[in-house]
């Protein structure tokens, strides 16, 4: 690998965060870390250096960094850790960043950075009109029209926090692994909870997609899924056309390219 030619992208989610390294338009490495684990800037520095060393890279290989975050309270230490590690102040998806995507909502500023990066990547890669479904801590549905404008959104509790609520609020129900049992007709408590959660959630997903398409009034709307549980529902539902687990990282790269800046590094 040649030095100083790689872009580091970071998607900070409520539960987990994902980091990717791009060589041009090719994602060459990625890894995840828990967002909710408190870290100092020095701990972030150690974490980033450790990953790079495991891949035979050094901090000098990274030319720039871009972040999308829905967790404001970690941004100070994360940003400081990036400056200490790579000598660059990261670009952050937010006000003043060009996305190339009109947002036709009452208050465009309230749209989360995660939804923006998903939508930018999905429209670029799959074309519109489309619905982007991100199965994260929350499950989000965003409608992008044929002209690449974000025109509608739905937000629901994610399947993970739905399962957590079930066990937290019902004293005699145990924690369960979120897997889909072969039959909805369960014969034990754990299987009955798994059936209710997965079959019920699939029904919700399919109803929301159908209802959005009904209101859109077109039969050519593609559905693209991403996020941790996206593969499960892609495999089980004919309503989802594509599954792209790296969609947020791809969106970050595309937005970086729209806002590309000269490689100006600070003193390390």
Which residue numbers are catalytic?
A: 114
Whole-angstrom distance, CA of residue 260 vs CA of residue 255: 8
Residue 199 phi, psi dihedral angles, 5° rounding: -65, -40
What does the alpha-carbon distance between residue 88 and residue 75 come to, in Å, rounded to a whole number? 15
Q: Crossing angle of helices 159-169/189-216, nearest 10°?
A: 140
Q: Which residues of 188-209 are buried (b: 16+ CB within 10 A; e: fewer)?
A: eeebbbbbebbeebbeebbebb
3-state secondary structure of 70: coil
Q: How far apart are CA 46 and CA 192, in angstroms?
A: 44
């Amino acid at each position: 690998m040649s030095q100083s030619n790689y872009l580091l992208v970071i998607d900070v989610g409520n539960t987990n965060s994902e980091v990717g390294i791009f060589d041009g338009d090719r994602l060459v490495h990625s890894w995840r870390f828990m967002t909710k684990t408190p870290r100092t800037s020095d701990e972030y520095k150690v974490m980033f250096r450790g990953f790079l060393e495991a891949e035979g890279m050094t901090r000098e290989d990274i030319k720039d960094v871009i972040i999308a975050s829905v967790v404001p309270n970690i941004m100070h230490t994360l940003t400081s850790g990036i400056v200490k590690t790579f000598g660059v102040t990261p670009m952050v998806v937010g006000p003043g960043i060009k996305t190339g995507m009109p947002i036709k909502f009452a208050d465009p500023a309230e749209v989360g950075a995660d939804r923006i990066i998903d939508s930018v990547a999905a429209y670029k890669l799959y074309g519109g009109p489309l619905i982007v479904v991100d199965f994260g801590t929350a499950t989000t549905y965003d409608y992008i029209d044929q002209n690449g404008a974000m025109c509608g959104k739905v937000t629901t509790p994610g399947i993970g926090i739905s399962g957590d609520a079930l066990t937290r609020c019902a004293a005699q129900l145990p924690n369960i692994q979120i897997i889909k049992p072969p039959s909805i007709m369960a014969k034990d408590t754990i299987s009955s909870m798994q059936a209710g959660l997965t079959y019920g959630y699939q029904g919700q997903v399919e109803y929301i997609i159908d209802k959005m398409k009904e209101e859109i009034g077109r039969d050519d709307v593609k559905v693209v899924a991403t996020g941790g549980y996206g593969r499960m529902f892609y495999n089980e539902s004919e309503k989802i056309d594509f599954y792209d687990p790296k969609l947020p990282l791809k969106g970050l790269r595309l937005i970086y390219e729209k806002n590309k800046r000269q490689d100006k590094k600070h003193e390390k």
